[in-house]
Copies of this chain bind each other. A is one copy, B any other.
Amino acid sequence: MTRALAIRGLDHAYALRSVLEGIDLDLPAGRTVALVGPSGCGKTTLLHLCAGLLTVQNGTLANGFLRPAVMFQQPRLLPWKTTRDNIALGLKALGVPAGERRARAEAMARSVGLDELALGQFPNALSGGMQSRAALARALALGPDLLLMDEPFSALDIGLKAQLHRLLLDHQAEHGLAVLMITHDLMEAVRLADTILVMAADPGRIVFRAELPVPARRRSEAEVYRSTAELLRQPAVCASFGLDLPAEAGNNGNGDGAAVVPLFSPESACAASGAPSCVSSAAAPSPASAACPSGPACATDAGKAPRKKGFSC
């Protein structure tokens, strides 16, 4: 089996309630897929299916990776183990000897910003962000080839977030690990992912699929802002998040619940960037700007032409 995750026509229902319908997803080694979508649309369910925690009811899921690691939405640390032992848990399960596992756990803890003191504490004495960093360290310490992460950075401040983004990208460059991550921060998705899947709710399905051809480590900030803005101008995306559609993008058509729209292919990205939305919004807040609160979508520099660097359009 090749090192890849392939999902075809996956459905899932809790009791009688259908939560996921017709999910298709491909994650080859070394790539990053970001899953975004409204709260309660089934992202975590999909991740748990990938992790093998839920039985596949319908459709196929082929996971060819050998060493997956999961970072859950909640830290899920063992309350009776110190942070150090929690981070080393996966290593212990692999049979790594105590000394080495301790050293590796501590190195990983340092790289997520946990100090010696925190390592000796029990999880309930850690702050929220420290707990989620411990959970991240526990997953990374395994040296996985597939990393499933559920909102890994949502409890972290901007400084740590940036640091951990770098850490993740370095890790990925070094070990070629595949990442499936859930996030609510579109810009984070654009910054880290090779493919962004936007889901809509009731039932959970993928309504938009964006490919980012430039490798994540070579994306500039400006391109990240612009791509995010572009993403937010997609009717399917705005509909999925219940945002008002930016006025000038309304004619893109095919409302909500639409079929998957391939985007961020060079052409469509260029086409979209031709419709500046920011100047107007800055002058007098338009519905679009009010509705896109994480905002950079509307803040892209309208005056600049799309450059050939980073994004290939």
Q: Which of A111-153 contact B (CB under 8 A)?
A: 113, 117-118, 125-130, 133, 150-151
Per-position binary interface string of chain A over residues 47-89, scored 1 when its CB falls under 8 Å from any chain B CB and 0 otherwise: 0000000000000000000000000011000000000000000
Q: Is A269 an interface residue (CB 8 A)?
A: no
Q: Is there an interface contact between B129 and A157, defined as CB atoms closer than 8 Å?
A: no
**In whole angstroms, how far apart are the Cα atoms of A304 and B281 in the complex?**
13
**In whole angstroms, how far apart are the Cα atoms of A116 and B289 in the complex?**
31
Q: Is A295 an interface residue (CB 8 A)?
A: yes
Q: Is there an interface contact between A241 and B157, defined as CB atoms closer than 8 Å?
A: yes
How many chain copies does the complex carry?
A: 2
Residues of the B chain whose Cβ atoms lie less than 8 Å from the Cβ of A9: none
Q: Is there an interface contact between A40 and B129, defined as CB atoms closer than 8 Å?
A: yes
Q: Is there an interface contact between B184 and A158, defined as CB atoms closer than 8 Å?
A: yes
Q: Is there an interface contact between A130 and B299, defined as CB atoms closer than 8 Å?
A: no
Q: Is there an interface contact between A299 and B225, defined as CB atoms closer than 8 Å?
A: yes
Q: Which of A242-275 contact B (CB under 8 A)?
A: 242-243
Q: Is there an interface contact between B159 and A38, defined as CB atoms closer than 8 Å?
A: yes
The 8 Å CB contact of A304, one of B150, B163, B240, B282, is B282
**In whole angstroms, how far apart are the Cα atoms of A205 and B40 in the complex?**
37
Q: Is A92 an interface residue (CB 8 A)?
A: no
The 8 Å CB contact of A243, one of B129, B158, B240, is B158
Q: Is A177 an interface residue (CB 8 A)?
A: no
Q: Which of A148-178 contact B (CB under 8 A)?
A: 150-151, 154-163, 165
Q: Is A298 an interface residue (CB 8 A)?
A: yes
Q: Is A37 an interface residue (CB 8 A)?
A: yes
Q: Which of A25-33, A96-104, A206-214, A216-224 contacts B (4 or more CB under 8 A)?
A: A216-224
4 more A-B contacts (CB under 8 A) besides A74-B128, A303-B303? A37-B157, A154-B184, A157-B184, A225-B295
A interface with B by C-beta (< 8 Å): 14, 17, 36-40, 43-44, 73-74, 113, 117-118, 125-130, 133, 150-151, 154-163, 165, 184, 186-188, 191, 220-222, 224-225, 240-243, 278, 281-282, 285, 289-296, 298-301, 303-304
